[in-house]
Structure 1
Amino acid sequence: MTWLITAVGLGLLLVSPMFAGEHSAFARVTVYWHSEGSGANAAWNGVRLRDGHCAVDPKKIPYGSQVVFHDADCVAVDTGPDVVNRKAARSCGRSAAERNAIVIDRFFDTKQNALAWARANPHFMVVQVCTSDTEADFPTRQLNTSVTDSHRLTTIRSE
């Protein structure tokens, strides 16, 4: 019996790269930016945030995945409690599909750019997610996590 479990586990390990690929996801997209008095690093690994980065639930979209919006491609490098618990989707979704949508928090270098993008785009949209084994490309340096997410980065959820 142990050899069967080992064989199945090894088979799954070898087959998993075949499942890396592209899929669509219905998402509630929020925006955030570097704010005064807060760090500009991703909470989970210390990567310096820049335009083209986004926060995701790593159980749904692995770190290192490319998230393709209609106007730009972003890399999933950050996360946060409101992203994981889908607070924005649950609070402003009008249908079951919207309330069950994943949340992607898109990072912008400035507040002005973030708010302009949020005003010009729908709250809910279909994005393409390209997954791969790129999660290992990001450093795993630990940060001081005593600063809360709300102080670290400002998040806007426009209604």
Structure 2
Amino acid sequence: MVRTKQIAPTSKRPPTAIKRQIIPLSRRLETKRKLHSGEKAKEKSGTIAVKKRAKPGVKALRDIRHLQRTTELLIPRLSFQRVVRDITNKICAKRVIDDLRWQSNALLALQEAAEVYLTCMFEDSNLAAIHARRVTIMPKDMHLVRRLRGEHITMK
């Protein structure tokens, strides 16, 4: 007998059709399930469409995957520019220089470096939290990471 490769049967409906579940109104009234605050129901010819609730953490994982794929900056440019100008004005207030000017490329390079530093800091802090058998990053994780890196920045 000849051996043939078996192919798994595909489902008839696409996976997007599973998102909503249509419940007849009579069965809906029997169960007397109350709608939650965020849930909305639409009545159409005796049926109510109830949107299924996603599991916790699914949206967070989707956002993480999206942000890992993109190359755009995460901090808005104008707010970062305001912070940089504010800090430089405070530092230069002690000196004679009135107002420093910044080239747009210099601000962009500074923002890129700051975001890379923060991303690496959060990655290492996450590893420290996982090592401590936790999921949540705490300030003590960041202190540990900075201490291991040899960073001791004092703000005066």
By relative contact order (CA 8 Å, sep 6+), the higher-ranking structure is 1
TM-score normalised to structure 2 length: 0.21
Considering only CA atoms, is the larger Rg found in Structure 1 or Structure 2?
A: 2
Q: Relative to total residues, which structure has the larger helix share, 1 or 2? A: 2
* Structure ranking higher in strand proportion: 1
TM-score by length of 1: 0.21
